[in-house]
Amino acid sequence: MSAQLQITARDMRHSEALETRIRGKVEGLQRVHPRMTACRVTVEAPHSHQRRGNQYNVRLDITVPGEEIVVNRDHAKDMYVALRDAFQVARRKLIEHAQRGQGADKTRRSRNQVASGSGTARDE
């Protein structure tokens, strides 16, 4: 399933290079969690400091069945570093979400097996 993608650039120019990088990162997240249904990416440059230069904020809102994962990365000096960091955190959170789902299924199955008498012990 292809996730619905929305890219927003605030207080900065929306470039083709930025959009291409974001699309590639989202495709990587879809490989980690194929059931991802939506991804909203907001990149903004809220402040321009005289001494520190541009500060970037990246926010990811990712929708998966049963949960919305939100990631914020603030004030990186390089927009692409902020993107990389945000998507790394999102990847970890998606892996954890997928493992929680699989773990719940395994726990449910093992409880059912014990209740039905087909536990781990073998009858010989």
Interatomic CA distance for residues 64 and 98, integer angstroms: 10
Please state the pTM of the whole predicted model: 0.75
Q: Show the domain range for 42.
A: 4-116
Note whether residue 48 is domain-resident: yes
Q: Determine phi and psi for 69, rounding to 5 degrees.
A: -100, 125
Note whether residue 110 is domain-resident: yes
Q: What value does the mean pLDDT of the chain take?
A: 82
Asked whether 94 and 32 are in contact (CB, 8 A), the reply is yes
Note whether residue 122 is domain-resident: no
Note whether residue 121 is domain-resident: no
CATH of the domain at 46: 3.30.160.100
Q: How many domains does the chain have?
A: 1
Note whether residue 124 is domain-resident: no
The one-character DSSP state at 123 is P
Note whether residue 18 is domain-resident: yes
For 91-102, give one letter per residue: b (16+ CB within 10 A) or e: bebbeebeeebe
pLDDT in tens, 23-70: 999 999 999 999 999 999 999 987 666 666 678 899 999 999 989 999
